Amino acid sequence: MAQQSQPPPITPPLPQPESDFYWEKCKAHELWLRHCKACDSTYFYPRDICPDCFSRDTDWIKSSGRGTLYAFSIVHRGPVPAFRDRAPYITALVEVEGGARIPTNLVDIEPDPANVKIGMALQVVFEDLDDKITLPKFRPAS
Ligand SMILES: [Zn+2]
């Protein structure tokens, strides 16, 4: 009797010391971003040095979780087995308030170009991937 094969699980992101705080806050369903006090830039991914002016005078700020769609692609064929049964799905670059752009997925929206519009208002939601990693994703703002 043939055994039904299961796709391998999604490989979770691997937190680094610079991003531990970010992942802890995601687990608490809060979105926190790095902010540069020298040039007032808010940026992603989390790192100690500002990518805009290279200052180390940075801190954390709590994001409202509101943003707009900057770019997207609808994936019809998952690139690896773990994603094949998720297709079609939407990969996106979301610009959150403050200016940071986060690579993520859109959820709670039909993956059809007629529904997905650049500039549309979005709100963060959180997907608990396992007991350590929670991913921020975005849905249309209500
Ligand atoms: Zn800066």
Q: What angle do CA 105, 137, 66 make, to 5 degrees?
A: 115
Report pLDDT for 7: 66
pLDDT digits (tens, 9 = 90+) for 20-52: 999 999 999 999 999 999 999 999 999 999 999
Report how far residue 74's alpha carbon sits from residue 113's, in angstroms, rounded to the nearest whole number.
Answer: 8
Distance between CA 140 and CA 92 in Å, rounded?
12
Stated pTM of the model: 0.89
Between 22 and 3, the higher pLDDT residue = 22
Q: Return the pLDDT at 107.
A: 97
CA 85 / ligand 1 centre spacing (Å): 41
For residue 29, report the distance from its CA to the centre of ligand 1, in Å.
26
Model confidence pLDDT, tens digit, residues 61-95: 999 999 999 999 999 998 888 888 889 999 999 99
